[in-house]
Structure formats: structure tokens, C-alpha cells
Structure 1
Amino acid sequence: MQKESFMNKEEKSSNKCPICGRPTHKKSEYCIFHASAEEKTEEELKKALKEYIQEIKEEGKDYDFEGFIFVGNINFKEDLNIIVFKKANFRNATFKGEADFKGATFERDADFKGATFKQYANFTGATFEGDANFTGATFEGKAGFWKTTFKQYAYFTRAIFKRETDFYKNTFKQYAYFTSATFEENANFWSTTFMGKADFKGATFEGGAGLGATFKGDADFSIKAIGEYISFYNALFNQGRTLVIKTTDVKNEVTIDFEKVCLENVYLELFLGEKTLINFTNALIRSTVIKKSQIENHILQEEKKEFSKAKEVYLLLKNNFHSIGRYEDESWAFTKEKDMERFSHSFPCYKEAFKKDSKIEKFPILKWIKKGYFKKWIISAFSNMIYGYGEKPWNVIKTAVAIILIFALSFSFIGLGNPEIIELKGTAIHQNSGNTVDLESKGLLKNNVIRNFPDSLYFSTITFTTLGYGDFRPLEGLGRILAGSEAFLGAIMMALFVYTFARRTGGR
């Protein structure tokens, strides 16, 4: 009797699904909902689902689809007449065909944690009134979240998107967590609004990302890996918020596109990898908290040798650094702006542009000179060398020292005159004492560079500074021309020094 009772118990338990306790389906050890796709047909599943849903509606239960294996295409509105989900549990569910939740409303929490979507997952126009949990979900087909609204927290942590992902015109009213998510193809967030924090820390964008969205909260893009680009084209970041972009773990060449992005009054924290470049073309950068050290050697246009465009980018950065009072960084940006202008006028740059011109011309260097590019380039080069475009007082000092030494050597060759000594018939006579002096050592010093250099250096210095004590004088002819030229250059260099020193120490 005991043996029979055990057998009956064993037989009874074997007819129930070990997951949910429902009767097993045909020869499967699981119920029709948890049986594998090969053990049931689409028609059988949909029939059972309709009965199950009718039961839920009659008893007022929550929708519990945990671990269900859906075969065929499922349209929850048309096939199952579900428009509103009070509370939906799709945890670890598998959708073998398309899953269509278009226009659905989830009044309470929606749990898709660990769910697998083998084909297209359509959440277009859906509204999540409670938390939406897609943690660890896998989208093997396209994921469509067009114009979807997430009113509470949205969790896509560790989610895997194997195909193109579309979050076009979504609204995230609270935090949006995409931490450690993987996007194997393009991820589209164009025109989406993040009202809370957008957290993409540790995310992987293997196919690039379009993030031309509105960020009303902080945003963290500490990216683990990127394919080729992340585009924030036309994005808007609310004032006072923080944007973090970190690509130090990314080893390949990557472009961060900020073209036409509004970054006004935003705290921009950039930690860029060696091969990461940034495009600030036409971006609104004003009172944006950013440092030179974060962007130096990362400007896209400079690396691509598009110097005219790079000049405009550095102009934006210069004005921004001025607006936040970072004058050292402003000086750097101004110098880079002038460098880009000089490079754009150089012959190699002109020659490169000349190659793209369909009209073939002979002697391009002559055209370069004729069109005025050489003049602009040489003036810019001298400005940089002599006083660093007004940013480098030490350049003025070094140039002044060079001028004094060059003229000192010149005076050593041609000699100097002593106004107290006159020459009469080849004899040098001191005017005050009437004594005869050594013509070579005390009178007209000629052709003795080593002996003359100390006096020549002294004379060159007082001539450069326009002091002119009168104890030495230039010889007639070339000596006077050199002395006048040095005095003129000295006046200019002292004026430049005052200008650059005041500019560097007095702020902007």
C-alpha cells in the first residue's frame, strides 16, 4: 500500500511543471508556457495564453509571465487584447518571434530582467508608469523604443543590444541606467529627453552612438569601448549640470562630436584616451567649466590639419576660458588660434588645397606669394617668434638679447669712436690733456674683435635702451646707420615688452 501510494505521488508530481506547478504539456516535463519552442506550436501557446489572461482579468491578478517561452510573433494588443498592464512580470522570459508592446501602458512596475528577445522588440509609444527593469536583458533583434515614456526609473544595466537600437524621442523622467550596457550596432538616442541622470558608466558602443538629446540632469559617459564615434550633435545640456566623458580605456581612434551642442554653464569633465579626438565646431561654449589639460592634443580639426576650422574652435575656447577667468588657459587657446591661422597660410597647406583644385596651375609657390598668403604667413611667424603674439614676454627678452649681441659683434668689427680723442695726421690726441694716446687701444678701435667686444657690448646695450652716455660714439658711415637702427629696434622691443608683460600680468 505504501509502495502504491508513493508511485501515485511520483506519477502525480511528474504531471506538473517543476517551475510553476501547472500541468505538463503533452510529453514535455514542463507546462505549455515553460516548454521549449520545439514542444509546442504558436496556436497552442496563444490559446493557452488567452485562457490564462482571461483568468487573470477575472481574478484581478497581476500579469506573471516569468520564464515563459513565447513562440511565434506576439502582439499583446491584437492577439491577447492587453493594452494596460497593472503589474507585469516578464523576468527571464524568452520571445522567439517578434514581441509587440506598441502603445502599451504599464501602470506599475514592469520587470523584464534577464528577458531574451530573439527578434524585433517593439515598445513604440509605450508608457511605463512605474519602474522599467530591463537589467541583463538581451535584444538579439532590433529594439524599438520610439516615443516611449519612462515615468520612473529605467534600468538597462548590463543589457545587451545585438542589433540597431532606437530610443528616438523617448522621455526618461527619472534616472536612466545604462551602466555596463552593450550596444553592438548603432544606438540612436536622437531627440530623447533625460530629465534625471543619464548613467552610461561602463557602457560599450561598438557601432557608435547618436546622442543628440536633451540632458536636464547630470550625464556620465565613462565608456568602456567605442566603435568609431559618439555624436552629441545638436544636444542640449541644462545649465549647472555635469557632463562626464571618459575614454581612457578606449584604445582605438574615436571622435566625440559636440557640433552645435549647447554647453553653456555646464561642468565638463573630460578624461580622454590618447586616440580620442573632439569636435567643437559651432558649439555654444560659454561659461563652460573646462580645463586646457583636458582637451590639449585632442582637437579634431588640428589633428586632421584643417587649420582654418581649428582656428575657429580655438577662438570659441579662448572666449570661454576668458568667461570663467582661466587666463592661463585663455593665453594657450589664443596662441593656438594664431598658430592655426599661421599654418592655414603656409605653403604646404596652400599646396594641399591646390591639389584639390581641378584647375592645374604652374608654379604654385608664385601663386602663394602673389595671393598674399606668404605675407600673412611671414608676419605671423615673426609675431610668434618675437613676442608670442603678445603672450610671451620672455620671447621679447630673448629677442632683445639677440639683437644686442648681433649689433655688439658688428660694432666690434667696424670699431667705435671715443669723443674725447681726436685724430690729427695719424696721431691720436686726448682733447683735455693734449697727450698722445694709443690709437688702437684708446682711440678709434678697428679690426680687433676680441679687444673691442666688451666696449662694443656696452655701447650696444646703452644704444638699444636709448640711454646714450656719450663715452663712445659710432664711426661715420655704416656705424651711424647701425646705431640708429639699433636704437629704433630697441624702442620697439621695449614697447612690446611693456605690452606683453602688462597683458600677461594684468589679466584680460
Structure 2
Amino acid sequence: MTGRGDGSSERGAVEAFGAAADGAVEAGSDVEAAVEVLRCSPDERAERGVSDDDVRAAFLTVVREGDAEAKDLRGVELPAIELDRLTVEGADRHPVDLREATIESLSARFATIRLPVRLDDATVGDVALDEAHVEEAILADGATVTGDFDAFEAEFAGDVEFEGATFEGRFDVDESTFANDVTFDGATFEGAAEARAAEFYGDSNLLDDNTSFTGAAFESDADFRQTGFGFTHFERATFAGEADFQEARFDGDAEFDEAVFEGFADFDEARFDGDTGFADVTFAGDADFRGAAFSGRERALDEDVTFERSTFAGDVDFRHARFRFVTFADVAFEDVAHFEEAEFDADATFAGATFAAEADFDEGRFREDADFSGVEFAARAVFRGAEFTGGANFLEDDLTFEGAHFGADADFHDAEITSANFVDTTFGGEIDFSGAVFSDRIDFEASQVEGDAWVDFTRAKIVSGRIAQPAENWVRYDLTLASLGDVELVAAAEGDHRRLLDFFRFCRTEFTEFDGHEFDFSGHREYLDRNAWAIHEFHEPPDADPDYELEMTPEVTETTYLKAKQSAAAVGDMKVAGEFRVKRQQYSRAKNLEVARDGSAPLWTRIKNSGRAAENWFLGVTCGHGMRPIRIGFAFVLAPLLYVPFYALGDFLDVLGGDPFMTAAGQVAPAELVTAQGLSTLFDVARFSYISYTTIGYGFLGPEGRLAEVLAASEAYLSVVLSALLVYALVKRSEM
């Protein structure tokens, strides 16, 4: 596609130039004559009859045969220069100096240019370099291209400099290759700029920027789709229209610091393999970084990519993006921020950022430390299914929201977190940690700034840590079906500790799931003693109507206290374990009675549950389910006195018949109880009851009536039962 051509048009132009110049220039070489023609003004050429073809022929003569002096064509005014399909080379390597020149147009399609060209401050109309091979530098600082600049599939082997240049028409370098350094610093692109699938690599300058658009102004759309860059600078560049960098590749460092994107900024699927800077950038429109990858250079002291202090005024989309070390510190997200399924392979910093609209980190992956300290979430924040595995800095929190503010709902449903810091965090909406897993520890000290929402830890798993209530604006915690390890519950003020558990709801909560990390109720004995060892009641504000995961039915409550008892036993606190066992039995009785009252249940089932309820009641009354030895002691001692009225007042209880209750101790009428004889008889009756109860059987007192015989036998049985319960209660008490 390139070559020297057949030369016929070129020779004809030279011959025409010779004929026209004959007599118009003094005798001398062709080069001198050509220089003279080129340095004439257009009016002077017209007077001498020099055509545009003559000028083009003269230009070729100077380029090919002239020395440095001849090639000094600064300030000349030239018609359209056509070099299509030609090989343009000179007798030496001196550049063609067209600084401050005015050229109607320049065309070198399919041409090969083998010498440098200087166009600094020149004014050129259309420039056509389609599929040209430019082997030397083009230096055009401050140049103005008034027409279109077309360089489709062109190859630039030397430096290309257009610093401060102005392109008034379309700028098109689609699929072009820039093998050396390229500079468009301060350039102005008034028309559309297109560099689709172009290659900007500068292998000669390994330590410097290879491509620079620093301070450039793109006043229309800029299209860099699928473009490849080495080390690249776009600092302080402005993009008035759409900036399209879809699938662009940045093999070296890429700097966009202080750039301004007034329209849509599209970096969809872009690849940043070097360190990348987007600090102090203004994205006035929407920004799209979906699937972008920021790999970085693995420099230990620098972030691989920074968006620090930037502003996203429109929607920003980082879905499926991948980062190494990245900072979004102090970034302002003024519209929706999408980070769904984004991956952060190294530390991620969002400290001091503000999210004015929804922040969506749904299923994000944070494989090292994530810092959200001091972040302001004005709207809903979503971290559903996000993973914060941490592990890089073992002395720091893997995830921190210290000092962060959630102005609306915060959703951490099913999030997986190694360790987290929520100290001094404030919430203004619902806080959902349901199903979340904290596999190492949590440090949670949050306050509620408004509303009556609670922290929903339903089905959450917390291995260890600390949940603290601040000095004011306490937050409620629902631990229904949660798994709690050695988590310390504390209050900022020591005096508030006694009401602490009012703000925690335990409902079928697991306390012993994690080996070596059992929850310990010992530190809350003061509260538990004051509140009759109740832990299932949630302190709710007036008129609250929460939608809990589970209703506190007797069955659910019984299971709650069973798990609490197992927790206390696991840490060796038998006192607390026993008290929780008593509470469990109370709700077990309520559960049995509920079944017994259920008319739809089978009759035998109702009967069995009635019996269980009666048995439960008896154990509770007599010995407090083993926790009240004094009670069973009194019951054991005083139980025979319950039989005395039946034995002694048999005659008075004539509705039952007096004689059936007769004993050898005799009977007494109620009126005789105040007499000496009556009191003596009453004493003998009581003595008979105790003899029967203790089964001593001295032989001189015995039952005579049929019912007296039955009652005496039942006393013996009752003594066995109560003595067994007394021993049971004493043993249980000794274990505490």
C-alpha cells in the first residue's frame, strides 16, 4: 500500500515548474530556484505564473535535495501539498522546517515519510495521513489544523508533538500506531476526537510518560475505545462531550488527576495494568467502569489506583470491576454508586467518602482490609452477600466503619466478615445484619439518631467480640436464631449496665456453637436477678409494632432458655445455668398446657400434656425445679400438718363422714380447739401424722377409719417423694 509511485506526475510537475520559473528566478541550482518559489507569497507566484503544481514540485525538490538551510521554510504560505503514495526522504536527516507556515492542506495517504517535519505554530487545513508510514518525528507545538486530521491506520515511528495545538475539525487516528512518545499537552480538539483501537506506546522512554494529553481540551466527543496505551497522562484534561474508553488498555501508569468529564465517561471493561490516578477528578455526568480491572504495579508504598477527592455527580457504575490497592477517600458520590460484585484484591479505602444516593456493594469481595471510616451514607447502603475476608494486616480491623453515619437503611444481609469495627457508628434507618457471619470478632458501638429501628442480627453468627451501648441513643439488637460466641455486652456508663439486656432480644439463640467461644451470662447477674432471669423480653418503644422473625410462643421461649442454660453450663456457671433451667421449665409447663387446651389435638395427647404440666407445677412449687432447697426443706417438714385437719376434724367434716377419718388419737370439734383437752387431742393427731409420714410406727397410735388408713399410706409415699426432692435440690445447690 506504500511506495514511490511511477514518478510521471512528479516529473511533469518539475518540468512545468522549470518552464514557468525560467526567467523568473536568477540562474542557479534547482534547489535554490525551488526555495525561491516556496518563499514567494501567493500573489507573487500568481504574477510570475507559478501554479500550485509548480509549488508542490518545488517543495519535493527542497525536501529531497535541500540542505538544512534550504529546508528552513519557516513562515511560507503553501497551497495544498499532496504526497500520496510517495516516499518522502532527503539527502540528509535535517527536518523540513515549516514553523509558522500556512498550508492549505497536507495529504500523504499511503506515503512513507523518512525525515522529520516541524510544524510548530503552523496553520494547516485538512491533514490526511491515512495508512502513512511516518518514520521520523512530527513536531507541531502550537499548530492549528483548521480542517480534519485523518490518520487512519497510520504508523508513527518517531515522536509526535502537538503541544498546545488546535484541531478545529475532526481528529481521527483510528487504528494508528504511535511507537514513540506522543504529546498533546494543552491541545484543543474542537471536533470529535477518534482514536479507536489506536496504539500509543513509547518504548524509547521507559521511565517517562509515553503519551500525554495533559491539560488537553476535548470540546466534543472523545473516542478511545479499545485503544492501547503505555504510560499515559490525561491530567487536567477536560472532556465536554462523551469520553469513551471502553476496553481501552493501559499497560503503564495512567494519570487522570484533576480531569473534568462533563459528559458520559465510559471506561467499561478497561484494563489498567499500571498505577492509575483519578484524584480530584470531576465526573459531571454518569461514569461507567463496569468490568474494569485495576491491576497496578504492586508498589508497596503507593495505591494501585486512586479516586481520592473526586466527585461523581451522576450515576457511577463499578459493577464487576476489579481492584488491587485502591482509595476512594473523600470522594463525593452525588448519585447512585454501583459496586455490585466488584472485587478488591488488596486494601480498599473509602474513608471520608459521602454517598448522597444509594450505595450498592451487593456481593462485593474485599479480600484484604476495607476502610469505610467516617463515611456518610445519606441514602440506603447495600452490602448484601458481601465478603470481607481481610487478613493482610493482622493487627488492624479487616473492615471498619468507625465514625460512619448511615442516614437510611443499612443492609448487610448474609455478609461474610472476618473482623469488623463499627465503633461510633450512627444509624438513621433499619440495620440488617441477618444471616451475616463474623468469623473472627466484631467491635460494635452504634447509636440510633432517629426512629426506632434495631440492629437485626437474626441468624447471624458472631464468634467473638464486643457490643457496646453508647452514653445515649441506645440501639436495640435482635439476636433471634443467631449464634453468639464469647461476645461481651457492655455499656459506656457503668451505671447503665443493669439495664443492658433490656435492649437485647434472645430468641432461640445459640450460645455454644463455637468451640472455645461460649457466651457468658455471668457478667449480667445483677440484671438477671433484678428481672427474674428473663432474657427473651425485648425492650420496645411505645406503639412499636415490629415484625419479628419468630413469635415468642411458649415452645420458642422454652428452647431459648434451654440454649441459655447450656451456655452457662459450658462456662461452668451452674448458678446461672440453674436459674435458666427454672425459666425453661416454666415455659415448658405453658407449652404443655397450650397443647392440653387444644381441642383439635387427640385426647390422649391432651391427657399426657396435662399430666406433664401438673408434674412441672408440682416440681416448681415444691423445690423450684431443684433450685430452691429451702422451699423443699420447709415443705418436707410441714407436709404432715396438711393431714391434721382431716384426722382431727372428722366429725365436723360430716359431708365426708366423720368415722372414715378416725384415728387412735381421737377427734375434736372446732369449739374444743381452745380447750386444754382439745389442744391435747390436736397434738396427738399431729403426732400421729408425723409418725405415719416418717413411717416410724411406734405401735400405740394408728388409723381406724378407712380414709384415715388411705391418708396415712399417702403420707408415707409423700415423705419419700419430698425427701427425694430435698436431696435432689441439695445436690443441685451444691453444684453451684
Q: Do they superpose with TM above 0.5?
A: yes
Q: Does 1:24 align with 2:176?
A: yes
Q: Does 1:127 align with 2:314?
A: no
Please point out which of 107, 114, 117 is paired with 2:284.
107
Task: Give yes or no for contact 1:136–1:158 (8 Å, CA) kept in 2.
Answer: yes
Shift in alpha-carbon separation, 1:34–1:67, aligned structure 2, 3 A? farther
Q: Take 2:209 and 2:580, find their aligned partners in 1: how far apart are those partners?
A: 81
Shift in alpha-carbon separation, 1:319–1:273, aligned structure 2, 3 A? closer
SS in 1 for 2:539: helix
| Per-residue Cα deviation, 1:243-285 (whole angstroms, up to 9, x for no partner) | 222336x5x8354442344486114433425565674222589
Q: Take 1:443 and 1:191, find their aligned partners in 2: how far apart are those partners?
A: 76
Q: Take 2:347 and 2:526, find their aligned partners in 1: how far apart are those partners?
A: 35
Q: Does 1:216 align with 2:472?
A: no
Please point out which of 211, 215, 223 is paired with 1:46.
211
Shift in alpha-carbon separation, 1:195–1:60, aligned structure 2, 3 A? closer
Please point out which of 169, 175, 199 is paired with 1:35.
199
Shift in alpha-carbon separation, 1:144–1:390, aligned structure 2, 3 A? same
For 1:89-488, what aligned pairs fall within 5 Å after superposition?
A: 89-119=266-296, 120-140=304-324, 142-207=325-390, 208-212=398-402, 213-223=404-414, 225-226=416-417, 228-238=418-428, 241-247=429-435, 253-262=439-448, 265-273=452-460, 279-282=466-469, 291=478, 293-295=480-482, 297=484, 300-301=487-488, 303-304=517-518, 306-309=520-523, 320-321=538-539, 323=541, 397-401=618-622, 403=632, 407=636, 419=648, 447=696, 454-456=710-712
The structural deviation recorded for 1:75 is: 3.1
Instruction: For 1:253, give the aligned amino acid.
Output: S
Which segment drifts farther, 125-134 or 253-262?
253-262
Aligned partner of 1:466 in structure 2 is none
Shift in alpha-carbon separation, 1:313–1:46, aligned structure 2, 3 A? farther
Shift in alpha-carbon separation, 1:51–1:32, aligned structure 2, 3 A? farther
Task: Give yes or no for contact 2:291–2:320 (8 Å, CA) kept in 1.
Answer: yes
The structural deviation recorded for 1:176 is: 0.7
Shift in alpha-carbon separation, 1:171–1:408, aligned structure 2, 3 A? same
The structural deviation recorded for 1:94 is: 2.2
| Per-residue Cα deviation, 1:155-184 (whole angstroms, up to 9, x for no partner) | 112211111000001100001111121111
Q: Take 1:36 and 1:215, find their aligned partners in 2: how far apart are those partners?
A: 44
Q: Take 1:150 and 1:26, find their aligned partners in 2: how far apart are those partners?
A: 36
Aligned partner of 2:153 in structure 1 is 15
Task: Give yes or no for contact 1:187–1:210 (8 Å, CA) kept in 2.
Answer: yes
| Per-residue Cα deviation, 1:27-49 (whole angstroms, up to 9, x for no partner) | 89x96975386978675742467
Structure with higher Rg: it is 2
Q: Take 2:131 and 2:354, find their aligned partners in 1: how far apart are those partners?
A: 53
Q: Take 2:582 and 2:216, find their aligned partners in 1: how far apart are those partners?
A: 88
Shift in alpha-carbon separation, 1:40–1:161, aligned structure 2, 3 A? farther
Task: Give yes or no for contact 1:153–1:174 (8 Å, CA) kept in 2.
Answer: yes
Instruction: For 1:46, give the aligned amino acid.
Output: T
Task: Give yes or no for contact 2:251–2:273 (8 Å, CA) kept in 1.
Answer: yes
Task: Give yes or no for contact 2:310–2:330 (8 Å, CA) kept in 1.
Answer: yes
**Count of matched residue pairs:** 401
- The root-mean-square deviation of aligned C-alpha atoms, in Å, is 5.7
For normalisation by structure 1, the TM-score amounts to 0.59
Shift in alpha-carbon separation, 1:36–1:132, aligned structure 2, 3 A? same
Higher helix share: 1
Q: Take 2:200 and 2:321, find their aligned partners in 1: how far apart are those partners?
A: 19
SS in 2 for 1:217: coil
Shift in alpha-carbon separation, 1:165–1:277, aligned structure 2, 3 A? same
Runs of at least 5 residues in structure 1 that lack an aligned partner in the other structure = 1-7, 350-376, 422-426, 433-438, 463-481, 487-508
| Per-residue Cα deviation, 1:351-409 (whole angstroms, up to 9, x for no partner) | xxxxxxxxxxxxxxxxxxxxxxxxxx87x788667788999998774243454997399
Percent of pairs with identical residues? 19
Task: Give yes or no for contact 1:286–1:319 (8 Å, CA) kept in 2.
Answer: no
Q: Does 1:76 align with 2:256?
A: yes
Q: Take 2:267 and 2:407, find their aligned partners in 1: how far apart are those partners?
A: 31
For normalisation by structure 2, the TM-score amounts to 0.43
Q: Take 1:283 and 1:444, find their aligned partners in 2: how far apart are those partners?
A: 64
Runs of at least 5 residues in structure 2 that lack an aligned partner in the other structure = 1-109, 111-129, 133-150, 156-171, 181-193, 223-236, 297-303, 391-397, 489-510, 512-516, 590-612, 624-631, 651-662, 669-684, 727-736
The structural deviation recorded for 1:53 is: 4.9
Shift in alpha-carbon separation, 1:342–1:154, aligned structure 2, 3 A? closer
| Per-residue Cα deviation, 1:44-78 (whole angstroms, up to 9, x for no partner) | 7424677785886899543333333234333334x
Q: Take 1:65 and 1:102, find their aligned partners in 2: how far apart are those partners?
A: 18
| Per-residue Cα deviation, 1:120-176 (whole angstroms, up to 9, x for no partner) | 211111111111121221112x11111110011111122111110000011000011
Aligned partner of 1:490 in structure 2 is none
SS in 2 for 1:222: coil
Q: Whose relative contact order is higher, 1 or 2, with alpha carbons under 8 Å and at least 6 apart?
A: 1
The structural deviation recorded for 1:116 is: 1.8
Which segment drifts farther, 160-169 or 295-304?
295-304
Instruction: For 2:352, give the aligned amino acid.
Output: K
Instruction: For 1:152, give the aligned amino acid.
Output: D
